[in-house]
Amino acid sequence: MGNDMLLDRREAVARLLRERGDLLVVSGLGSATYDVAAAGDDPRNFYLWGAMGGTAAMALGLALAQPERPVLAITGDGEMLMGIGSFATIGAAQPKNLSVVVLDNERYGETGAQMTATAHGIDLSGMARASGFEAMDDIRDMNAVGTLAARLHWMEGPLYATIKIDRRDYPKVLPARDGAWLRSRFREAVLGTAP
């Protein structure tokens, strides 16, 4: 496939978060965390810097605890594949307010662009659909990103979407790395309690 069918990850994530309302966001380690930070820091972002494979499961716990608020797990294809069992866990739990979005460049971006399973044709959307998600068709244009941005707030999930992105190297945008500070900030913003 040509590069013209692949999206700019920074542009896509910025569009998803542009009118975020009360959206709560958990981002997977590596580029997804940098993309969310580049779209604008917010206390309701929880940036993972490790715990690979845990993004979707963490967002599930948050979605179950905050059923009136939309929750977004946004991560890369490698991170999602490591925690792919959580597709079944989320599908069984059926949280209406949870969306999982994978930024898929078919590569492990942090470690030298080695191919992931999606480079070999593994279909994450199909797996999500078979696991009980409302799965959108793979997203390859910004109009569809806009549709997804709206659907994050519909509360008719669990919703799944793959955004096919290009393999360009973007400058790293590094949010805070102190997990204890990030969680206190998040809880204060969402629950009004500190720590």
Residue 86 contacts another protein per CB under 8 A: yes
Cα dihedral 105, 55, 50, 109 in deg (nearest 10): 0
Concatenating the DSSP letter of every residue in 111-170 gives GT-EE-GGGGT--HHHHHHHTT-EEPPPB-SHHHHHHHHHHTTS----EEEEEEB--PPP
Judged by beta carbon, residue 122 or residue 190, the one nearer another protein is 190
Residue 85 contacts another protein per CB under 8 A: yes
Residue 63 contacts another protein per CB under 8 A: yes
Q: What are phi and psi of 122, to 5 degrees?
A: -70, 130
Judged by beta carbon, residue 70 or residue 136, the one nearer another protein is 70
Q: How many CA atoms, within 13 angstroms, populate the side-chain half-sphere of residue 58?
A: 23
Residue 58 contacts another protein per CB under 8 A: yes
Which amino acid appears at position 114 of this protein?
A: Q
Judged by beta carbon, residue 130 or residue 142, the one nearer another protein is 130
Q: How far apart are CA 136 and CA 141, in angstroms?
A: 13
Residue 88 contacts another protein per CB under 8 A: yes
Residue 126 contacts another protein per CB under 8 A: no
Residue 59 contacts another protein per CB under 8 A: yes
The binding site for another protein (CB under 8 A) comprises 24, 26, 46, 48-55, 57-66, 83, 85-86, 88-89, 92-93, 179-180, 182-183, 186-187, 190-191, 193, 195
